[in-house]
Chain A
Amino acid sequence: MKPLKRILYIEDEIDIQTVMRMSLERLGGFELLVCNNGIDAVAKAPGFAPDLMLVDVMMPGMDGPTTVTTLRTMEEFATTPVVFITAKVQPHEVARLRELGAIDVISKPFDAMTLPQHLQSLWRLHTG
């Protein structure tokens, strides 16, 4: 079983990006490609071949689900598992994201100290 290594992270909030880098790169030891928004991701992500996509839902211009749908059209991202991260935690919103095929929806604020472990266990569940 392949361990979780490369994560494509799409988020428009610079502060949260910083926190996330600290959590996932420093703490979790993952290889992170951070994109500022959907358009940025479509431009930068190809070739990165991530194991997992971590996508913020609310973003200006192209929102998370649309970004994922767009990336899915590329072969490289067609089957890449997605974890959404959102501040909108109303059940119907979560349900909608699950319908899009997300393996998990993480609500903001998340626990930066335990997030790497959480992603690892999600990964194990998904691939195992």
Chain B
Amino acid sequence: MRFTIGRKLWLGYAFVISMILLIFVIALVFNYRNRETINDRERSDGFVRQITALRTNLLDAENSQRGFLITGDQIYLAPYGDAVERLRDDMATLNRLVATAAPGQAARMQTVNELMGAKLQQMAQLVTLRRATGFDAARDGLRDEDSIPLAVRLRGAIDQLATGERLYRTITDARFESEQALWRSGIWVTLGSIFVLGAAGAFFLQRTLTRRLRRLAQAAERFGQGKLDERVAVGGNDEISDLARSFNQMAEVKAVQRRALEARETQLRTIFTNAADGILTVDGEGLIKDVNPSAAIAFGRDANLMRGEKASRFFAEEEERLFQIVREQLADPGHRPRELTIKRPGGATVPVEMTMQRTLHDDKPVVICILRDITERKRVDQLKNEFVSTVSHELRTPLTSINGSLELVLGNVTGEVLPETRAMLTIAQNNSRRLVRLINDILDIEKIESGHVAFDFRQLSVADVARSAIDANRGYGERFTVGLELLGGDIDANIYGDSDRLQQVLANLLSNAIKFSPTGGTVQLALSRIGDAVQFQVRDQGTGIPPEFQGRIFDKFAQADASDSRQKGGTGLGLSIAKSIVERHGGTIGFTTSPAGTVFSFTLPELPAATAAPVAASVSANAGPRVLICEDDSDVANLLRMMLRQGGYEADIARTASQAKVMLNEHAYAAMTLDLILPDQDGISLIRELRAREAGSSLPIVVVSIEATERAAELNGELNGDVVGIVDWIQKPIDQTRLIESIRRATFTPDRTPRILHVEDDLDILRVTEVVLRDVAEMVSATSLAEAKSLLRRNRYDLILLDITLGDGSGLELLPLLHGTSGGAGGDTTPVIIFSADEMPRDISRAVSAALVKSHTSNEQLSRTIERMIERGGQIRTVHQAGTA
């Protein structure tokens, strides 16, 4: 049986309880004995008292008998009779008592009984004798007694009885005393043994529990300090043994884990130390925590001196730019590396490519930066570019001559060509063209794959793309007597893509399909929507793709049959290029084939309907002004749209800066809300870019960003000071009232038709401008400075469109009339747009609302700028009135 601590404790409890019970029993017995003794004493006292009473009554009886015997007087007989009566009572009592009296008393009592009986008989005989015979007989009777008188013997017997009792008392008292002493010592012994055993138990506990527990605790502490081999001697068979065993098991497991961890850490450390890439850990404050040797080499510094320094110190980029790059990279789900420039001591710079990853170290955020010196790659890139460029040049130059000559000859520029000669020259021309295509394709694929080619992404209608492709390839089909057919051309879907590149893909697929179709066959281009994507399918009626070729059909220079390819005039690069282009569009390409025909299909993500707003919506009469929401978080974007709708505005959503640019190009927006943190571009740089473009140059912008306040402070009004400022900076979470108020200010349009004064001496321009603007404003024209001055003195205008070079002076002379009090009907400033053939000096452009250069300005841009100006003019007045009211 296991002798557990629980059982040990129970045993201890049982011992203590039984000891207490023992003491209780002893006390009980002691108490009982005590009471017994007291009773015995009382009985003994009663007995002795009875004996005394007996003696007294005996004396009374003798005295009164003797009195009668001597005197014969009857008077003594009454007390004598009483005394005898009492004696009999006493004897009865004594006889009763003697039953419980001390041993030996009964025999003595018997003697007393016998003697008392004799005595009473003798006394009664003598009384009778006296009465009958008189005194002398009685006296003789007294003399006739034995040598020792009966009375004496009786008294002796009684005394013996009393003495016996007393002796008994003495003995019992003594015995009681000794018994009491025994009980007392018994209690002491018990208490003493409890104490001793308790102490022993405590010692035992200390020994078996406390000490073992302490040992366990010490072992645990040492283990915690890293002594992984620490184990505890198990010993015993109780809970502590269990605990010790568990501890040992845990220690074993932990030790294994710890060793694995240590091994991994060693591994990581080894990687960190030996990695060819530089690794840098940077804490939340931008301070370097650790640098590996490769990084130290890349930075050209001592790793120890870099630790604790600000990481930004070692990069050539401005701190703000650096933070932006870090933010962008961290937010990039694809973790594409970013290019940065390292600053070495002495001023040398090294281009690096850096990937960053946020992680936790000791519960604090750190960023692990992995950087790679790309000097060599850049150099190789440069070399490759030069090589490609040179090869392309060297190949194209002779081809230019060959091609040009052939074209001119075949074009009959040098005279009529004989049919046979023409046939030969056509072969030469076809092959030179093929060579050109090959070079173009090689360059193309190199550009697309290296990511060097910038795709011109725009919102495109799927149906339009397909129709253009069909039209472009119809001629080619006719050469092979193959018809082209468009299926699903009524699809109402938009994609975001590069039109030319998609045409290239479709031309590749369609021309392939045409080439491999039987004469008189039909190639189908089918459009369909699959989930969030749009699918293009090109279906031919050819003989299918041979199985051995299917696996590498998208490879470069993949040709089912080399001779076949040449025969069909392909370069073997078309599908490879198509695949690259589709993938750059975020789509996929594939094929299915059977002896009855082949279907090449590619899918492109569909542009959500919300972002693909029809242009007409912005000019439709009933809809509210249209606002573009540029926000990548769809929840926030939808919230903004909801808020704006409540405020009476229509809103479209652009999720990226590039999408916003496309939408701004294609629709007229009254204003734009802008998030500063966008996946593809920083908001501020987008604003700067929009300013430089005609579509965005006059667009009121409301910044809605979590960084609004700080970025606004950072820029210190820099962007607000431009021709068209940012209307407001709104911090997230968004205050709807403020948002609507800002948009309202930005899009305010006066109720009446604005009046524009156009000062211009060229009548043609006046006419054109009037046509452009007559829908939005009432146009008043002045052809000379004098006329303009006179008009300005009499009337006020919402906007002045001003040419500078006028027949009778410079239009700039009008500016003082418009600013301040002298000319204007009101005290406020009338907006002015300089519309001149010359670029404005910068100081003058600042004084006016906008400066447009004639040759660079389209009618639409002019019209848009003016519309904005009018609205802003209204807005300025509104604010002004509100301020003075």
A contact residues vs B (CB 8 Å cutoff): 13, 15-16, 18-20, 22-23, 26-27, 58, 86-93, 107-113
Given A91-B454, A109-B399, do A19 and B447 touch, yes or no (CB 8 Å)?
no
Contact flags B388-406 to A (C-beta < 8 A → 1, else 0): 1100111111111111110
Residues of B within 8 Å of A18, CB to CB, are 401, 405
Residues of B within 8 Å of A16, CB to CB, are 397, 400-401, 404
In the complex, whether B171 has a CB less than 8 A from a CB of chain A is no
Q: Is the beta-carbon distance between A109 and B453 smaller than 8 angstroms? A: no
Q: Is the beta-carbon distance between A15 and B401 smaller than 8 angstroms? A: yes
Q: Which residue of B lies closest to A112 (CB)?
A: B404
In the complex, whether B332 has a CB less than 8 A from a CB of chain A is no
Residues of A within 8 Å of B408, CB to CB, are 19, 22-23, 26-27, 112-113
Closest 5 pairs (CB-CB, A-B) = A19-B404, A87-B396, A15-B401, A112-B404, A87-B393
Task: Identify A19's interface contact among B389, B405, B443, CB under 8 A.
Answer: B405
B373-428 contacts to A (CB < 8 Å):
385, 388-389, 392-405, 407-408, 411, 413-414
Given A22-B408, A91-B454, do A112 and B403 touch, yes or no (CB 8 Å)?
yes
Question: Distance in Å from the Cβ of A10 to the closest Cβ of chain B?
Answer: 15
Question: Distance in Å from the Cβ of A94 to the closest Cβ of chain B?
Answer: 11
Q: Is the beta-carbon distance between A22 and B452 smaller than 8 angstroms? A: no
Q: Is the beta-carbon distance between A93 and B397 smaller than 8 angstroms? A: no
A26 CA to B405 CA, complexed, in Å: 13
A110 CA to B452 CA, complexed, in Å: 24
Question: Distance in Å from the Cβ of B629 to the closest Cβ of chain A?
Answer: 32
Residues of A within 8 Å of B411, CB to CB, are 27, 112-113
Task: Identify A90's interface contact among B402, B407, B447, CB under 8 A.
Answer: B447
Residues of A within 8 Å of B452, CB to CB, are 90-92
Q: Is the beta-carbon distance between A108 and B385 smaller than 8 angstroms? A: no
In the complex, whether B636 has a CB less than 8 A from a CB of chain A is no
Q: Is the beta-carbon distance between A22 and B413 smaller than 8 angstroms? A: yes
A90 CA to B407 CA, complexed, in Å: 25
Q: Which residue of B lies closest to A95 (CB)?
A: B454
B739-753 contacts to A (CB < 8 Å):
none
What are 13 pairs between A and B in contact, CB < 8 Å?
A13-B397, A13-B400, A13-B401, A15-B398, A23-B408, A27-B408, A58-B393, A88-B389, A88-B393, A109-B403, A112-B405, A113-B407, A113-B411
In the complex, whether B436 has a CB less than 8 A from a CB of chain A is yes
Residues of A within 8 Å of B403, CB to CB, are 109, 112
Residues of A within 8 Å of B397, CB to CB, are 13, 16, 87, 108
Question: Distance in Å from the Cβ of A26 to the closest Cβ of chain B?
Answer: 5
Residues of B within 8 Å of A20, CB to CB, are 404
Given A23-B404, A90-B452, do A108 and B413 touch, yes or no (CB 8 Å)?
no
Q: Is the beta-carbon distance between B392 and A89 smaller than 8 angstroms? A: yes
Question: Distance in Å from the Cβ of A123 to the closest Cβ of chain B?
Answer: 16
Residues of B within 8 Å of A13, CB to CB, are 397, 400-401
Question: Distance in Å from the Cβ of B114 to the closest Cβ of chain A?
Answer: 160
Residue picked from B393, B399, B443, most chain A C-beta under 10 Å: B393
Q: Which residue of A lies closest to B432 (CB)?
A: A109
Q: Is the beta-carbon distance between B413 and A109 smaller than 8 angstroms? A: no
A108 CA to B436 CA, complexed, in Å: 9
Given A90-B389, A109-B396, A109-B436, do A26 and B413 touch, yes or no (CB 8 Å)?
yes
Question: Distance in Å from the Cβ of B408 to the closest Cβ of chain A?
Answer: 5
| Apart from the given pairs A13-B397, A15-B398, A90-B392, 18 other A-B contacts in the complex at a CB distance below 8 Å | A15-B405, A18-B401, A19-B405, A22-B404, A22-B413, A26-B408, A27-B411, A87-B394, A90-B443, A90-B452, A91-B453, A107-B396, A108-B397, A109-B403, A110-B400, A112-B405, A113-B407, A113-B408
Task: Identify B404's interface contact among A58, A88, A90, A110, CB under 8 A.
Answer: A110
